[in-house]
Structure 1
Amino acid sequence: MTLAYDVSGTGPAVVLLHSGVCDRRMWEPQVPALAGAGYRVVRCDFRGYGETPVADRPYSDSADVAELLEHLGVERAAFVASSYGGEVALELAEARPDSVTALALLCSAMPGHAPGAELRSFAEREDALFKADDLAGAVELNVRTWVGPEATEEARDQVRHMQRQAFELQWTAEHSSTPRAELDLARVTAPTLTVSGAHDLPDFHQIAATLANQLPAAHHLELPWAGHLPSLERPAETTALLIRFLQQATSGA
């Protein structure tokens, strides 16, 4: 199996897809609660994150996740996805609509989204730090940008550690995942919750609202306290929200 992963609990499958500044450890607060609520919880590290090495050839993150689910015998699953993980979940839901039972997209990215001014500025600053070989500075820029005001220092340190490890793994990588240029959102039929944070960059408000308007069975919720990583910023509140949504979505409510 290409991806490092772990599985907890029994019941309907819920797949957790991490953000681009974290790895599967970002879901530590959610795993026991979701397993305790009666779900089989699957989480994985994309290539170049956590315990999964970088790729030695061109690849697709969504194809990797599909391969993992086939390996585990999971035919249908709900997805809870953060940021870049949301982009991967949308690709899977568009390609395999009958196999996705629900989507909870936390501050999700979206294939084909054109970055706004603030996101472009962030990317330019990050690129300048990389060119200066200032990996520590790039890590701190990401922590300042993506971790919201409600996060504890422990959560900030967790993001700092995960982002640093990802940068170190990817520093000399020759290949990166190639996302879809655009999606046919009409094919994404699963009940969907799009979440945005009031303290996040404007791009992610726009994406959440766009998805809620264009997906056939979606609604948008903005969290007034959240930055970009609500599952780490207020884990108990976010976990309760996710469980409530999954129970309603999978029961047909």
Structure 2
Amino acid sequence: MTLLSHDTAGNGPDVVLFHSSVCDRRMWNAQWDTLIDAGFRVTRFDFRGFGETPPPSEPWDNAADVIALLDSLGIGRFHAVGASFGGRVAHQVAARWPERVEKLLLICSAGTVVDGTPDLDAFDEREEELFEAHDLDALVALNVETWLGPEADQKTRDFVGDMQRHAFEVQFAAEDMESLKPEFDLADISAETLVVQGLHDLDFFVATAKALAERIPNARLVELDWAGHLPTLENPAKVEPLILEFLREG
């Protein structure tokens, strides 16, 4: 099994950061020192085909990759913080290994709990067209425009664009592989769960957040009226107090 590229630092309860598929583990740069200074040991990693982790050469299981990494680091029980695609993997980990996850924080999480919406369908169709045309510049521009909310400055847009560009470059060069999709039940999640959603996000993710909060036991929903899909990048100062309050509770 491929060991995911990662960073670990700090002392205290373990917090594991799951990145969005628009980004890589660098998306947590702003929260890295914040969480370490708050008294946590923090681990972040790149999924296969993102950042510094090579793309898969055979069918793979993202959630199992994370557990294998944490086992190698001697991390048992931890708080999971996942953004977008990372949220989807994080809640799968919490459902399949409920004894490992103490708290679960889902930020604009992906999921398979609602049907597609017209805005997501339109995005997917346009992205597929550009991917088939290998129009890298247009692909990056489409994703930056779609996934960042109104409070993201140009520096943040350029940063997300750089991460997204790298991911597309890897995908263009990699062999086409399908990830494994093991079954899991959201009802098996025992972690205290906070679902955070930006109201400037696509309708699909707003609906997904509400469905996750309804289906996951012990979950509550917080909606951010200022945020898009990547609030921890758009305005870290506004969202970090919410993250810290949740992780410190209890």
TM-score bracket for the superposition, by shorter chain length: over 0.9
1: distance between equivalents of 2:82 and 2:33? 17
- TM (norm. structure 2) is 0.96
Counterparts of 1:44 and 1:114, CA distance in 2: 30
1:112 CA drift (Å): 5.2
Matches within 5 A, 1:107-122: 107-111=108-112, 113-122=114-123
Structure 1 runs (4+) deviating above 4 angstroms are: none
2:113–2:211 CA contact under 8 A, matched in 1 = no
Alignment of 1:1-253 (within 5 A): 2-111=3-112, 113-173=114-174, 174-180=176-182, 183-248=184-249, 251=250
User: Distance between the aligned counterparts of 1:129 and 1:48, measured in 2?
Assistant: 19
TM-fit CA distance, 1:212: 1.1
C-alpha distance in 1 between matches for 2:181 and 2:86? 11
Q: CA contact under 8 A between 2:156 and 2:234: conserved in structure 1?
A: yes
8 Å contact kept, 1:147–1:233: yes
> Which amino acid in the other structure matches residue 178 of structure 1?
L
Q: CA deviation at 1:172?
A: 2.9
1: distance between equivalents of 2:205 and 2:196? 9
Q: In structure 2, do the counterparts of structure 1 residues 111 and 179 end up closer, same or farther at CA, with 3 Å as the change threshold?
A: farther
Query: What is the CA deviation profile of residues 69-107 of structure 1, one whole-angstrom value per residue up to 9, with x for unaligned ones?
Result: 000001101011100001100110011111100011000
Paired residues, number? 248
- Paired-residue identity, %: 48
Give deviations 1:99-149, integer Å, cap 9, x for gaps.
Answer: 100011000011354321111110000010111221110110000000110
Q: For the Cα contact (< 8 Å) 1:29–1:236, is it kept in 2?
A: no
Separation (CA, whole Å) in 2 of partners of 1:20 and 1:168: 13
Q: Deviations over 1:26-49 (max 9, x none)?
A: 000001010111111000000110
106-115 or 120-129, which moves further after superposition? 106-115
RMSD: 1.2
C-alpha contact 1:129 1:137 (8 A) present in aligned 2? yes
Structure 2: stretches of 5+ with no match in the other structure: none
Cα shift at 1:178: 2.8
Stretches of structure 1 that go unaligned for 5 or more consecutive residues are none
